[in-house]
Each structure stands twice: as structure tokens, then as C-alpha cells.
Amino acid sequence: MLSRFKLLICAVMSVSALAQEPVTWTQSLQLDKVMIDVTVEEVSRQLNFPWAVTGLPDDRLLITEKPGRLRIWQNGNLSAPLEGLPDVYYASQGGLLDVIIDPEFSQNDWIYFSYAYQSDGGNTTRLMKAKMQPDGLKQQTVLFEVQPYKDTPVHYGGRLAMLPDNTLVMTTGDGFDYREQAQKPNSLLGKTVRLTLEGNIPNNNPFVGQADHRAEIYTLGHRNPQGLAYDSQRQVLWLHEHGPRGGDELNALERGKNYGWPIATYGKDYSGANITPFQEYPGTENAVRVWTPSIAPSGLAIFRSDSVPALDGALLIGTLVDRDIKVLLPDQTPQVERSLLAPLNYRIRDVWVQGQVIWAVTDEEQGRLLKITLEQRPIQGDNRSHIF
């Protein structure tokens, strides 16, 4: 559909990014014969290290804050933290992580969220189910925890996605110092796991009944996956993960497949040493896209829109190092990737698409909630001399 994706920036900022007043910012993306007008509104700067944002059926938003708070955004207001959250292990990369809602939320009020948990045996990633009531969370139940425990407060994974058959997939990190366990089928580190909404193991998981294999495992060979989204039109479960020094990956997951870490990677260790001599390896899957140097991908959403058809099906990828939302059209040859928010210089932690609106949260002590709207229009006259 799009052979070229050209960028025409017409940026206007009402105040600088360092000011304390809300920001409204615009730019225009030119794609062949259409222009996409992008408007960014900073609607809140009251969040404390937000980690995830998701939508409710009545257009409210649920937002997690890493220190262990769950809040609701509604009609321009941010709620007080909801009661009933478990104690989370808030240290380094640990804390309250992702949240998603039940497919029948309008009838049953169930939500699912991941968080870091610590005990005398170390720390891990847990998955909890709870009913969201007006006075807080009720009927809290731990559905799952990653084993073995570890002693490193990093690489938790924790992203969640719902599949069409009403099963749930969660990513798990490799714990950094335990990267070899990403290849071990009897360990839950460095994997994606698939569960029923009651926390049971589906009978058709790929390793059910295999000796020395954890039956929860859906895919293996991951480092620290922090982006996960099911694409209903392509019928693809997309995952992106942090590489080490380079080698960030976007993968299209298939059940039972091995995605290579750490025996195959385009990244190097932080010391500059080679982790492995192999960028690709027999029996492991190649990434759909690799970023070197690292962009630090965090948060992933699929944009679907009849009113902005030029970007229909684009993957929206939040980035922490590149401080941007990447717009990726993976079906193009070569793949098309452009910047959406780079001039704002915000560490984007998560991205959510709600109807025609893109919501994003920033990774900072006074975290921002951004409302991003797109409008497509035909190009008036010949603007090609202004394209760069």
C-alpha cells in the first residue's frame, strides 16, 4: 500500500517540554498522497512511574504505577489509588506491571495484573486475578508465579495478552544473570506462558505431557519481553523484547517455537564481549525485525482505523532509549518504520489504542498521560519540495 513513508514535520509546541504547563504538540506525516496530522495532548502529569495503560468498555482507562498503585482515568480526572492491591516488590525494574481486563468484564468485573513479588526465597513475577469493585479490588487470587525464584531485581517480563480462545499469555524475563535458563524447558524464566483464565494449563499447550518440560510454556528463548499484543486481523501474537547491547527484537510468535536467546542474538554483552557467535541458529526462529543499537522497546499496540487507512495495521512501539513511539508497517517490503513522537523526547513506557485514540504513558517520576489523535487528509498541491 505504501511504497514510501515520508516525514513532513510542522511542529508547534505551546510550551517547552521542560515547562510545568500542559503540552499540546502537532506534526504531520506525509505518506505518498496523503497527510496524517498528529495531535498530542498531555492530559495528566500526576502519575508516578506508570507502567501500563489499558481501556475499559466505558472509555475509562486503567493505569498501573510501578510503586504498586492502580488508578482510573475518567473524564479528565485521575482517581485515588484503588484499594486491595497486593504488596509488590518495588525495586529496580520490579513493581506493579501490566493489567488487562476479562473479555466479559462488563458482566463480571474481572481484571488480571502482573507484579514483582519477593519472599525469603528471592523474587519472581506473579499473575493475579481480582474483581474491580467501586470500593477497590475483591476476591484476589494468585493464578501463577514464575519458577524458579531469582535474586536479581530485573528482567521480569510481565506483559499480558488475551487470545481469541479466552486464554491468557504472559511474558517472563530471564532474570539477567540466569539467561541460560531461557533455553531450559524445565524453567519458566525467559518464556511466554499460556494459561486459562482460572490459572490452569490448557490441554493444547505445546509441551503438555512431555517429560522435563513445564506445561505452562508457550514459547521459549526470550530475554526480557515488554511488548505483547494479539493482532486479530493478521491472527498474529506480536512480541518485542529488549536485547542486551543491541539486538532488540520483534517476533511473530508461534506455539512451541524457540526464539533463540541467548544462543542466537544480534546484541553484545554490556562489556562489549560476544554473548554467542551466532546471530541465527538452526532450530530457532528469526526475528521479524531487529534493532541495533537498542531502542529499548516497551509497550506495543496495533492501530486499526477506517478513518486513517494509510496507517491501518501499523504496530505502535513505545521506546525508552529512543524516547519515541515507532510506527512500523511490517507487511511492507522493505519494512517501513518512522518516528511519531521523537521531538518530544519522552521515555514511552506503554501504548494503548482505544477506538481512534492512541494513549501513551511516560516513564518518569511525574509520569504523563498522552492523548494522541490522528487525522488523514489528501495532500493539497505539491509539497514534495518540503519533504525530507
Instruction: Assign 21 a pLDDT band (cuts: 50, 70, 90).
Output: low
Q: What is the pLDDT of residue 29?
A: 86
Residue 379's nearest CA partner among 35, 9, 27, 7 is 35
Q: 49-294 has which CATH code?
A: 2.120.10.30
Burial of 209 (0-12, 13-18, 19+ CB in 10 A): exposed
Grid coordinates 505551546 are at which residue? 14
Q: pLDDT for 176-205, tens place per residue?
A: 999 999 999 999 999 999 999 999 999 999
pLDDT confidence of residue 333: 86
pLDDT digits (tens, 9 = 90+) for 125-150: 999 999 999 999 999 999 999 999 99
Rounded to whole angstroms, how far apart are CA atoms 121 and 213? 23
Can you give the pLDDT at residue 143? Answer: 98
Question: What is the C-alpha separation between 272 and 277, in angstroms, rounded?
Answer: 13
Predicted local confidence at residue 11, as pLDDT: 38
Task: For residue range 297-346, list pLDDT tens digits in order.
Answer: 999 999 999 999 999 999 999 999 999 999 999 998 888 898 999 999 99
The answer to whether the beta carbons of residues 352 and 340 sit under 8 Å apart is no
pLDDT at site 7: 37
Average pLDDT over residues 207-212: 97
pLDDT at 129: 98
The pLDDT of residue 185 is 98
Nearest to 72 by CA among 135, 19, 25, 26: 135
Active site residue 242: no
Nearest 10 degrees: CA dihedral of 199, 200, 203, 208?
100
> Which candidate, 160, 81, 154, places its Cα nearest to that of 113?
160
Each residue's pLDDT tens digit, 213-257 = 999 999 999 999 999 999 999 999 999 999 999 999 999 999 999
Domain residue extents for the chain: 49-294
pTM of the model: 0.92
Mean pLDDT value across the chain: 92
Residue 66 is inside which H or E element, if any? none
Per-residue pLDDT at 384 = 42
Note the pLDDT tens digit of each residue in 59-108. 999 999 999 999 999 999 999 999 999 999 999 999 999 999 999 999 99
Q: Which of 155, 222, 240, 242 is catalytic?
A: 155
